[in-house]
Amino acid sequence: MEYLIGIQGPDYVLVAADTVAATSIVQMKHDHDKMFKMSEKILLLCVGEPGDTVQFAEYIQKNVQLYKMRNGYELSPTAAANFTRRNLADYLRSRTPYHVNLLLAGYDDHEGPALYYMDYLAALAKAPFAAHGYGAFLTLSILDRYYKPGITREEAVELLKKCLEELRKRFILNLTSFNARFIDKEGIHEVDNIPLAKVES
């Protein structure tokens, strides 16, 4: 029932996640942040089983931070994605697998922006845009239609709004609010909560 989305531009990545924490049919929280800061320029977005998401994401987060403390420099987004994938794959083959779906977005001074899609079976793919959750079935076609490699920040925000409006119109559940953030060479920046216009019937 959760939703993650990522859009990569020429010098940034825009990511967004819904803020609902639910158990079965009950909404437990409406301001839950599903983004975990790995480093100054890397974000991990995580959805799945409620306990698994926080435990796995924090485990990866602390290990990435430990790497920086030991070596004096941060992992690149590519290295962080492969480290995350390896851990997820190892746990998948243990008695305690984590049922989590992930997006990893980051910016590297040498390689530029990067967006990685990862599912609970530890399949990893670098993508120009990606989405997780039931909402992905409704919005991947919109991303495919309107995405272009040189997309500007303003166009990316408009594309994100298009996707969220489609969710609001088509998805049976009402995801009321989203966190959105830009990642670029300056670091991680908040995007103001994106207002959703009332859908005409």
Domain ranges of the chain: 4-191
Q: Considering the entire predicted model, what is its pTM? A: 0.92
CATH number assigned to the domain covering 4-191:
3.60.20.10
- Average pLDDT of the chain, as a whole number: 92
Q: What is the pLDDT of residues 107-123, one digit of tens each?
A: 999 999 999 999 999 99
The pLDDT assigned to 201 comes to: 37
| pLDDT beyond 80 at 195 | no
Q: What is the pLDDT of residues 19-68, one digit of tens each?
A: 998 888 888 888 899 999 999 999 999 999 989 999 999 999 999 999 99
Q: What is the pLDDT of residues 169-186, one digit of tens each?
A: 998 887 888 999 999 999
- Report residue 109: phi and psi, to 5°: -60, -25
Q: How many CB atoms lie within 10 A of CB 162?
A: 15
- Report residue 119: phi and psi, to 5°: -110, 180
